[in-house]
Structures are given as structure tokens and as C-alpha cells.
Amino acid sequence: MDRQVTALLCRTSDRGPQAAQGTRELAELIDARVVGSPGAPRSSSWDDDLRDSRGCLLEAGGQVDDALDAGRAPILLAGECSISVATLPVVVRHHPDARVLWLDAHADFNTPATTASGYLGGMCLAGACGLWDSGFGAGLDPARVIMHGVRELDAGERVALDRCGVYRLEQPVQLEGMTLFVHVDLDVLDPDVLPASFPVPGGMSAQALRDLLAAVVELATVVGAQITSPAPGHGDVAAAAIAPLLT
């Protein structure tokens, strides 16, 4: 399937400049089309960010929608996982049978009732799964989410993940024959490999991520992907790790 590779620079919940800087750098390395311009980073509550980034989130969902309408696989780069509130409902609408492979140091499964940080990026998957109303729709069955690399969970997230039936990937062979949309937050890598805004020790090596994605592409039908949290000065590491999604 042809790929539509797009980098989204506009602000969603960016609390520092590194998200947009890293996204632009990675976009140049993989020859992605760049859309939007960075907004001023700031620490805001989830509801303020949801309101203020509405245009950017609509653009994220629109990029995925346009690619899938054209029969192409969207590959979307962005600074923050917050785009998931808008992108994943679009994927499910086009591919009701798709599962989401969530490669991330965090589950991003908080809700307004459970979040301690008030960070929109930490609530985005739960929004796409309908645990709270983001205003961008839902439709993703949590039981169709497959997590790998998650190693930091809040108490409320643990309860919600267990209740909703989200499960962990043990071996890539589990993915054989599935239709997948792949989410890669680059903080799934160890912070010694690629620095992150919210670093969690014990992550993957770049080679391990590359090998996993190579197996995913071979075993499953990948209908698209999103890559978030690139770090400035580490675009070459990120590009090498995600290369199987681009070929």
C-alpha cells in the first residue's frame, strides 16, 4: 500500500519546544510533508489544551481520513500523543476490524476523573476508547488495543486497563493475520537511547524497536501509523528505529 507521510507541527499539549523541533528534524530525514507551524509551548490543563488545539487535532484526524479515503496508509508524525483523540476514531471508522498496537512508555489511559497531572497527552487513548468525551468521537474498543513497552501507570489507569480488557503483547507472532494501526511514542525507547519529555527507565533499544516493527509489518496488515515525541538531535535514531513502517 502507498504511504502518505505527513509531519504535523502545530501545538496540541506541548509543554516545551522540543516536540515540534524533533518532529521537524525527523520529517526532514524521512522526507515527510510538513503541515502547520509550532505554537507557543506552555503548561495548560487538559481542557484548555483540548479547546485551544482543536484546529490542530482536526488537522490530525483529517490527514488520516484523507489518506485512508485515497487508499493510502497514513504515517503521521507529531510532537504529542494527544493527536490520538482525533486520529484513532477515524481509523476505526475506516477499519472497524483494526486493532491498535500501542508502543509507548505510558498507557495514556487516564480520564478527567483519574488524572493527577491534568495533561491531555496522558488521557488521549482513553478518550479514543470512549472513557471520557473528547468531542472528537470514540469507537475504539479497548479490548482491541494491544500494548507493549508500557512501564509507568497511574493507579486509576491500572484499574481501567484491567476492567476494559486491554492486553499486553508478549510475542510478535500474536499479531499474525491482524489488521493493525501502529502507535509509536518514541519514549518507548530507553531514555539513554532517546531523551523524552517524560522519561521512564527500562525502555527498548532502537534495534529492538526496529526488529519488532519489522516483524509487525511481516505478520500483520498495517493500515497506518503515528509516531510521536521525536527528540531534537536524535532524528537519525528515530528514523532507523521506525524504518520498517516506511518501506
C-alpha cell at 23: 518532529
Mean pLDDT of 191-199: 93
Q: Is 163 a residue whose pLDDT tops 80?
A: yes
Q: Is 162 a residue whose pLDDT tops 90?
A: yes
This prediction's pTM: 0.97
Instruction: State residue 132's pLDDT score.
Output: 98
Instruction: State residue 157's pLDDT score.
Output: 96
Instruction: State residue 145's pLDDT score.
Output: 98
Per the structure, the complete domain to which residue 214 belongs is given by 3-245
Instruction: State residue 11's pLDDT score.
Output: 97
Q: Is 1 a residue whose pLDDT tops 90?
A: no
Tell me the three state secondary structure of residue 172: helix
Mean pLDDT of 199-205: 96
Q: Which residues of 105-144 are buried (b: 16+ CB within 10 A; e: fewer)?
A: bbbbbbbbebbeebbbbbbbbbbbbbbbebebbbebbbeb
Grade residue 106 by pLDDT with cuts at 50, 70 and 90. Answer: very high
d(CA 157, CA 120): 14
C-alpha cell at 25: 528534524
Is there a contact between 183 and 225 (Cβ–Cβ < 8 Å)?
Answer: yes
pLDDT in tens, 11-56: 999 999 999 999 999 999 999 999 999 999 999 999 999 999 999 9
The CATH number covering residue 173 comes to 3.40.800.10
Kind and range of the H or E run holding 149 = none
Q: Which residues of 44-53 are buried (b: 16+ CB within 10 A; e: fewer)?
A: bebeebbebb
DSSP states of 48-89: HHHHHTHHHHHHHHHHHHHHHHTT-EEEEEES-GGGHHHHHH
Grade residue 189 by pLDDT with cuts at 50, 70 and 90. Answer: very high
Percent of the chain scored above 70 by pLDDT? 100
Total domains present in the chain: 1
Amino acid at 47: D
pLDDT in tens, 74-104: 999 999 999 999 999 999 999 999 999 999 9
